Chains A and B, each alone.
Chain A
Amino acid sequence: MTEPPLSFGARLALAFACFFRVLFDGRYAARVSAAAASAPALPAPEPEPEAAEPNVEPALQLLALLQREGSLVDFLQQDVSEFGDADVGAAARAVHDRCARALSRQARLIPIVTEEEGATLTLEAGFDSAAIKLTGNVRGAPPYRGVVRHRGWRAESFELPRVVGEGDAHIVAPAELEL
């Protein structure tokens, strides 16, 4: 099978997308490398290796980012029970403000359903059951008709900074020593 050639613009966009995905996604990189090695036969997607250890580094990176930008870890690690609402509120505001900014820069989050919460929605057979969770009086086969209780979130895009150098990902926030 021969695909028609892509336009330059499409190639540029693809090259750009591939560049970052190859950088951040080891498995994808391995597939690209394999594809480049045996160009004519595109290998079928390999079966997922069984029960590989999850790679926690990107998660730690995100944690570090939210701590760096908005002190999220500080906030969550502190016992707030001894403080009044005013103190918690003030801190929450500082954290919220900065974390919200950081999150909106890294991720594009959109609601999964366009209907407002409280509106009714009918789902036909074949709806994406991972994207829409049925609750309440669930019975029988679709179509299902119900009230939207939560619009859901989908990360349309998500980017993490590229890691450079030999940092220790487990350092979520460095200690600070003022000289």
Chain B
Amino acid sequence: MSAARFVVGIDLGTTHTALASAELDDPAARPRIFAVPQLVARGAVEARALLPSFIYFAADGEGPLPLPWDSARSFAVGEYARARGAESPARVISSAKSWLSHGGIDRRAPALPPNAPEDVERISPVEASWRYLDHLSEAWQAAPESTGEPLGDQELILAVPASFDAAARDLTVEAAYAAGLENVTLLEEPQAALYAWLAAMGEGWRDALRVGDVVLVIDIGGGTTDFSAIAALERAGELELRRVAVGDHILLGGDNMDLALAHQARARLEAKGHELDRWQLHALTFAARAAKERLLGDPSLERVPVAVPGRGSRLVGSTLSDELTREDVTRVLLDGFFPEVAATARPAARARTALTQLGLPYASDAAITKHLASFLARQAGATQELPGFEASTGALLHPTAVLFNGGVTKSPLVRERLLSTLNRWLAEDGAGAVRALADTDADLAVARGAAYYGLVRRGRGLRIRGGTARAYYVGIESPMPAVPGLQPPVNALCVAPFGMDEGTDAELPPIELGVVVGEPVSFRFFSSTVRRDDRAGTELERWSADELVELSPIELTLPAEGRAEGDVVPVRLDARVTPVGTLLLEAVPLEPRVADERWKLELSVRET
């Protein structure tokens, strides 16, 4: 591999993918968005800043879907694939990223598209992700600005949600490797958004951030909502940024809002006696998105008409029309997704069904403000051990500044609603109001920020530290007399503490586990975003339900290496955060048969 010439930031989003690059040798380099050539219609290729994260599989009779670099291709990634999603949805993959982080399925099993006809060869969520990355890689290679240097040779920063657990991060890296992108480092998306802000501010950040600040990043993407808190502290006379908390994985975003508005308009059209087919509903959603952007962007607008063309060539007479009003936006969007709740409000746990696509574990409560209240309450103690920060006296974490990211947050109404709600909570909790940091380009900030991070790593800017955002635990059955009908209680053994930096090891916990030789042994696996003080080896007998989240189990098969099949071998679990940013769990036999014997635990095992 030749030396990297560019640092490349990739935002592999649920609905859009974007790429930014900066030349490493140029000291004045600023990340630039790469316009990704993609099929926008049959036979038409255009370079666009956003590559929709969709794949369409052509039917046999349809002929090839050529690209400039491949004339025989039978599938399409990007805009054309998205457009085909309305016409032929069973052949289109969307939201692969949500499937990738779905702990309830085998993410390496060919399951997508979920309702594909037999002639479509289904692919796994991991493969779908690598196809997007592969498209970027091919497009990059073919573009003049890459000067023909393969994407895989560049220094790559891949942004993932802060709420991704160890298995989802692992699978993302697996997808990157499959696409030939091996020189990759993971970066949390909210951090990337803050890096984009830092890059945009230049030296001006010194006036905008002070020691003692806690920046709350509210990132509302197309499909996911992600919260992070980043504190500014003083270290050796310099300001240091440290990411102190991340939120849970919330499958809720701008797309849900478009759908909610479209359903609103559909109900009215149906009340007038019009039946909408799938294609028309898609067109309505498209129109609702445009109307949403206008109504949210311009508070003086009272109503925006939406029109849905008929299917055939006779447009006039078959076009349905309705309008979305200020009241719809206030009631459905602001009050539905951003209700002015109390700081004690929590997301309802019951599953809603109305707006969800079969199979994905969408957030059961659409109220983003409730998720935010829950995050601030859970993370109330996130800064108390930082030097220079006082222990919190209230019930919430007290941010002092907010950085918005994601398309929906472009709206002044949404920002205003979030800020006023947040400030009310803070005032009630005895804290001062937050200020909003200057906007970055909400659609492209993550890719830009990721590329900028590549420069920061080389000492060209302020770095955000913080290590892993979770502690990890394995479940161990505690010995007790068997009681019929009662599961033996499980203790949680901490194997990887909170805040491990890339490229570091946790100390080996003192507790030994017995592993049966030659057969797969599965452990229950938990993570916590709040237990900051547990060390490797800490064993929890009980915990509250919102402290630890159970993940997919982890699995280990210990080869015999001269031991007898069925023997129980004592091991300790060694946790390491790789330079890439993934968690590596290995079993180290206490009596190794070969030098440095250690066995990798598989993180992303199907839920059983």
> Looking across the interface, which residue of chain A has its beta carbon closest to that of B70?
A164
- Complex contact A80–B316 (CB within 8 A): yes
With a cutoff of 8 Å between Cβ atoms, the chain B residues found around residue A115 in the complex are none
Indicate whether A15 sits within 8 Å of B144 (C-beta atoms), given known contacts A161-B45, A165-B64: yes
Q: Is the CB of A91 within 8 A of B145?
A: no
B313–A78 CB distance below 8 A:
yes
Knowing A80-B316, A87-B317, A91-B315 are in contact, say whether A164-B145 is a contact too (CB < 8 A): no
Question: Per a CB cutoff under 8 Å, which of B44, B307, B315 touches A161?
Answer: B44
Roughly how many angstroms separate A83 CA and B320 CA in the complex, as a whole number?
Answer: 14
Kindly specify which of A39-47, A69-77, A138-146 makes contact with the partner chain: A69-77
Q: Is the CB of B45 within 8 A of A91?
A: no
* Number of A residues, CB within 8 Å of B: 35
Among B35-43, B345-353, B356-364, B390-398, the stretch that binds chain A is B35-43
Q: Does B466 contact A (CB under 8 A)?
A: no
What A residues does B309 contact at CB under 8 A? 71, 74, 91, 94-95
Give chain A residues whose Cβ lies under 8 Å from the Cβ of B314. Answer: 74, 78
Contact A93 B305 (CB under 8 A): yes
- Complex Cα distance, B545 from A60, in Å, reads 62
Does B67 reach chain A (CB closer than 8 Å)?
A: yes
* Cα A12 to Cα B21 with chains together (Å): 14
Contacts of B317 in A (CB 8 A): 83, 87, 91
Are A61 and B321 in contact (CB-based, < 8 A)?
no
Chain B residues, Cβ within 8 Å of A125: none
B301 on interface, CB distance cutoff 8 Å: no
In the complex with contacts A78-B313, A91-B309, A97-B290, A161-B319 CB distance below 8 A = no
Whether B41 pairs with A94 at a CB distance below 8 angstroms is no
Residue from the set A15, A94, A101, A174 with the largest chain B CB neighbour count within 10 Å = A94
Which residues of the partner chain A approach B311 to less than 8 Å between Cβ atoms? 176
Q: Which residue of A lies closest to B279 (CB)?
A: A178
Chain B residues bordering chain A, tally (CB within 8 A): 33
- Chain A residues within 8 Å of B71, by CB: 164-165
Contact A97-B287, Cβ < 8 Å, known A91-B309, A161-B40, A163-B44: yes
Interface bits A23-65 vs B (CB < 8 Å: 1, else 0): 0000000000000000000000000000000000000010011
Most buried by A among B41, B43, B314: B43
Number of inter-chain CB pairs below 8 Å: 93
**Most-contacted residue by chain B among A64, A165, A167 (CB, 10 A):** A165
Tell me, rounded to whole Å, the shortest Cβ–Cβ distance linking A90 to chain B: 4
A16 at the binding interface (Cβ < 8 Å): yes
Residues of B within 8 A of A95 (CB): 309, 315
A68 interfacial by beta-carbon distance below 8 Å = yes
A131 sits at the interface (CB 8 A)? no
* B contact residues around A94 at 8 Å (CB): 287, 307-309, 315, 319, 321
CA distance A161 to B39 in the complex (A): 9
Q: Which of A136-171 contact B (CB under 8 A)?
A: 159, 161-165, 167
Decide: B315 and A75 in contact? CB cutoff 8 A: yes
Asked if B315 and A71 make an inter-chain contact with CB atoms under 8 angstroms apart, the answer reads yes
Within 8 A of A (CB), among B259-274: none
Query: Chain B residues with Cβ under 8 A from A163's Cβ?
Result: 43-45
Q: For residue B27, give the distance in angstroms from its CB to the closest CB of chain A.
A: 13
Query: Do residues B315 and A164 form an inter-chain contact, with CB atoms below 8 A?
Result: no
Residue of B whose beta carbon sits closest to that of A165: B66
Kindly provide the distance from the CB of A37 to the nearest chain B CB, expressed in whole angstroms: 21
- A132 within 8 Å of B (CB atoms): no
* A110 CB–B CB distance under 8 Å: no
Interface residue from A77, A93, A159, A165 paired with B313 (Cβ < 8 Å): A77
Output the least CB separation between A140 and chain B (Å): 48
The answer to whether B66 touches A90 (Cβ under 8 A) is: no
CB-CB under 8 A from B290, the residues of chain A are 97, 101
Q: Identify the closest chain B residue to A175 (Cβ).
A: B313
Chain A: which residue is nearest B321 at the CB level? A90
> Closest A-chain residue to B67, C-beta based?
A164
CB of A78 within 8 A of CB of B42, answer no
Contact of A16 among B41, B64, B68, B144 (CB under 8 A): B144
Q: Are the C-beta atoms of A162 and B287 separated by less than 8 Å? A: no
B547 within 8 A of A: no
The reply to whether the CB of B477 lies closer than 8 angstroms to some CB of chain A is no
- CB of B321 within 8 A of CB of A164, answer no
Give the distance to chain A from B258, nearest Cβ to Cβ, in Å. 15
Q: Is B46 part of the binding interface, using a Cβ–Cβ cutoff of 8 Å?
A: yes
Residues of A within 8 A of B46 (CB): 159, 161-162
A136 CB, min distance to chain B CBs, angstroms: 37
Docked-complex contact B144 and A19, CB < 8 angstroms: yes
Query: By the criterion CB–CB under 8 Å, are B44 and A16 in contact?
Result: no
A95 to chain B, nearest CB (A): 7
* Cα-based distance from A89 to B42 in the complex (angstroms): 30
In the complex, the chain A residue whose C-beta lies closest to that of B42 is A167
Contacts of A83 in B (CB 8 A): 316-317
Complexed CA–CA distance, A163 and B37 (Å): 12
Residue of A with least CB distance to B23: A8
Which B-chain residue is minimally distant from A19 (CB atoms)?
B144
The CA-CA distance from A159 to B40 in the complex, in Å, is: 13
**A80 to B46 Cα, complex, angstroms:** 34
Does A16 lie within 8 Å of B145, measured CB to CB? Answer: yes
CB contact between B44 and one of A78, A101, A162 (< 8 Å): that residue: A162
With both beta carbons as reference points, the residue of chain B lying nearest to A16 in the complex is identified as B144
Beyond A90-B319, A93-B305, whether A164 also contacts B43 by CB under 8 A is: yes
- CA–CA, A93 and B314, complex, Å: 15
- The one of A61, A64, A65, A88 in contact with B316, judged by C-beta atoms closer than 8 angstroms, is A88
Report which of A19, A78, A89, A97 forms a contact with B315, defined as CB distance below 8 A: A78
Residues of B with C-beta under 8 A to A16 = 144-145
Bound: A68/B84 CA distance, A: 12
Query: CA–CA, A78 to B316, complex, Å?
Result: 7
Known contacts A16-B144, A161-B45; is A97 also within 8 Å of B307 by CB? Answer: yes
A71 to B309, CA, bound (A): 8
A97 to chain B, nearest CB (A): 6
Residue numbers in A under 8 Å from B305 (CB-CB): 93
Q: Residue of B at shortest CB range from A23?
A: B68
Known: A16-B144, A91-B307, A97-B287. A74 touches B315 (CB 8 A): yes
Name B's A-contacting residues (CB within 8 A).
Answer: 37, 39-46, 64-68, 71, 87, 144-145, 287, 290, 305, 307-309, 311, 313-317, 319-321
Give 4 new A-B contacts, CB below 8 A, not counting A161-B45, A167-B42, A176-B87: A91-B317, A94-B307, A161-B40, A174-B42
Q: Which 4 A-B pairs have the closest CB atoms?
A: A167-B43, A161-B44, A94-B307, A90-B321
Contact sample, A vs B, 9 pairs, CB 8 Å cutoff: A61-B44, A74-B314, A87-B317, A94-B321, A97-B287, A162-B68, A164-B43, A165-B66, A176-B311
